[in-house]
Chain A
Amino acid sequence: MSRYDQMSALGLLAPMLVVLLVVAVFPVLYSFWVSLFDLKLTRPHRVPFVWLANYATVFQDPLFWASVWRTTWFTVISVAAIMVIALLAALLLNEEFRGRRFLSAVLLVPWAIPYVANGLMWKWIYDSGYGALNGLLFQLDFIDKYMVWLGDSEKTLALIANAFVWKEVPLATILILVGLKSIPGDLYSAARVDGANVWRRFVHITLPALRPSFMLVLIYEAMMAIRHFDLFFILTEGGPAEASHVLAWEVYVETFRKLSFGTGSALAYIMAILTFLLAFALIRALGKKL
């Protein structure tokens, strides 16, 4: 590339670089900077530099470890459910049958709904007084009186996970369906002639071919689940008690309710690093076998 080309390339990229610097790089660095101060908006005039003391505070807080555990649990069940349901849905939509197009369109609906609207919808469904879930189960005689759903600390996290899964399945299905469509039909013919029945064709042809799609879904959905905030905000605000107090909620509470920007930033940083490490580990572990 000539010098002139390099200069003009830089010139063309510059506006975007400036935008990225202002909206991404600067906030990232600035929040790390903030995490090194004991910055509380309740006490705006005294902002001592405390090195990594905010991180120490966070790690010593039992609530932090409890939220890490809840986030892990939420992530594992959500992602597992998303993968299984999306695989089944993709396998179904990969077959030729009447009404397939219609079903595909219906399946995409949750994807088109914004997170907040999704949250409000599930809030209504789970409502203990007039919720659709209570209505349905009652009419089907599965329950004999209306239940408190989200208010039951045993069930809260699973119910939120359910709402999250409902929203995430369409995208995961599409990613897996693309993987399915790219498997050459000849491979199935060859396996049939080689004596493999349906199940063995699935195990020996379909599953290995879907590995890249699975990995994509796994990493993407795990990151979405770890960082997920909207449903917790709309449905439970971390409650009842602390039953749905996950890491993302902890960041919010620390920063915007307690107005402790120092520890809030430290928490956000810890979360980002955890997410990054997880993605890295997954790529290392699964990527090798691609």
Chain B
Amino acid sequence: MARIRLESAGKRYPNGFAALESLSLDIRDKEFVVLLGPSGCGKSTTLNLVAGLEELTSGSLYFDDATMNAVPAHRRDVAMVFQSYALYPHKSVYENIAFGLRMRGHPAGEIEKRVRDAARRLEIEPLLERRPHQLSGGQRQRVALGRALVRQPAVFLMDEPLSNLDAALRIAMRAEIKQLHHTMQTTFVYVTHDQAEALTLADRIVVMRDGVIQQIGSPEAIYDRPRNTFVASFLGNPPINYLEGFLREKENQICFARGALSLILPRQYSERLRGQAGRPVKLGLRAEEVDEHSVPRAGETLHGRVSSVLPVGSDQYLGFEVEGSLLFFRVGRDLRHKEGEHVALSVNVNRAQIFDASTGESLLWDGSA
């Protein structure tokens, strides 16, 4: 049970590279927080600071109200699952799982019981006598989870634990990890660069870039109200579409305009966008925000040319040329458009995003998570 607080945490590696400048993050007790970002953005660094595997070079780290800066890893009540699994190659599966308990001096009987419980729970009981090199990737992954959960730690850290598994297994393990969080009732910090994983697992997502937090919020908030184009682009598959254009006001309505295209923006946006007519902006439109069945209405319609049709089983992706830009939309597979055809697509303007054209900051951002 622990709340984790990083206050202006900085990490400068011995070679002088500053992976984190000043990072502040408050993780609630029993929360499932996912650190999400591209490769090299400092996710592992942040996690290693919490684990005690790296030392902060500035700022502070607290577990509940205790300063942890100077507490070495082996005295912190954390468990960690590594991307490489890092199973001890010379120990049996049983000994791998028992190691953490042995190091912390638990009585033999209790160790036996806990290891067996964990093994049963992860369905690896028949493997207990094997060595790690005799296991498949998925089995190793379970042993690594077992080694962490058997400790019943206050903080459970995972660094891309699923990235070495194949796609099907990865989805199954997501569900198990979520289940694990429910039953363990402890704080989880999970690192990934897979946006789908983050959206599935997290109570809150922390989106990072170059060592700086871009946005913290629930999966819905991050997905529906991205703070900037970086966050908007990082989540969603296929990625969000952008159209560059201008804001325009007419008859008390605020519109997005580009060439012949004019989309009427929803009323709830007006407060934030009023009086900015002429401002260059980017309109963000997610791939699923078209409604192929509704009747096109003025101000909510894109007129353009279908440039490609890409079936992907359940749906199809439509490459769509509008005013000289190529957008991709996901539509149902019953829609029968052909390449080269000119069509009108009705868009869900209520979910459109508006970003400043040069800074990429959202103009709809209200500072809330």
Contacts and interface: CB of A to CB of B under 8 A. Distances in A.
Interface residues of B, number: 27
Interface string A99-137: 000000000000000000000000000000000000000
B84 interface: yes
A197 B52 CA distance: 13
A289 to B, nearest CB: 9
A189 B88 CA distance: 11
A103 to B, nearest CB: 19
B90 A200 contact: no
Nearest to A193: B80
A235 to B, nearest CB: 42
B51 A193 contact: yes
Contacts of A44: none
Nearest to A200: B103
Interface in A199-253: 200, 204-205, 208-209, 211
Given A200-B103, A204-B99, A193 B78 contact: yes
B21 to A, nearest CB: 24
B327 interface: no
Interface string B30-63: 0000000000000000001001110000000000
Contact of B147 (A184, A194, A204): A194
B73 A192 contact: yes
A190 B89 contact: no
A141 interface: no
A200 B74 CA distance: 11
A209 B52 CA distance: 24
A186 B99 CA distance: 15
Contacts of A200: 103
A196 interface: yes
A33 B317 CA distance: 85
Given A194-B100, A200-B103, A187 B88 contact: yes
Contacts of A209: 89-90
A108 to B, nearest CB: 26
Interface in B155-181: 157
B53 A192 contact: yes
Given A195-B74, A208-B90, A209-B89, A189 B82 contact: yes
B74 A189 contact: no
B79 interface: yes
B122 interface: no
B104 interface: yes
Given A189-B80, A204-B99, A195 B104 contact: yes
Interface in A176-198: 184, 186-187, 189-197
A209 B132 CA distance: 14
Interface in A1-27: none
Contact of A195 (B48, B53, B100): B100
Contacts of A196: 74, 99, 103
B196 interface: no
Most B CB within 10 A of own CB, among A189, A191, A192, A195: A195
Interface in A28-76: none
A205 B84 contact: no
Contacts of A189: 48, 51, 53, 73, 80, 82, 86
A193 B87 CA distance: 13
A193 B73 contact: yes
A42 to B, nearest CB: 59
Contacts of B80: 189-190, 193
A202 to B, nearest CB: 13
Given A189-B82, A190-B82, A197 B89 contact: no
Nearest to A205: B88
Interface string B333-350: 000000000000000000
Contact of A192 (B74, B90, B151): B74
A96 B99 CA distance: 28
Contact of A184 (B76, B86, B91, B104): B86
A194 B72 CA distance: 12
A234 B137 CA distance: 58
Contacts of B87: 190
Contacts of B48: 189
Given A187-B88, A208-B89, 11 more contacts: A186-B84, A187-B89, A189-B48, A189-B51, A189-B80, A190-B147, A193-B157, A194-B74, A204-B99, A205-B88, A211-B90
- Which 5 pairs across A and B sit closest by C-beta, in order of nearness? A195-B103, A186-B86, A194-B100, A208-B90, A190-B86
Interface of A: 184, 186-187, 189-197, 200, 204-205, 208-209, 211
29 contacts: A184-B86, A186-B84, A187-B86, A189-B48, A189-B51, A189-B53, A189-B73, A189-B86, A190-B80, A190-B88, A191-B88, A192-B52, A192-B53, A192-B73, A192-B74, A193-B52, A193-B53, A193-B73, A193-B74, A193-B100, A194-B151, A195-B103, A195-B104, A196-B99, A196-B103, A200-B103, A204-B99, A208-B90, A209-B90
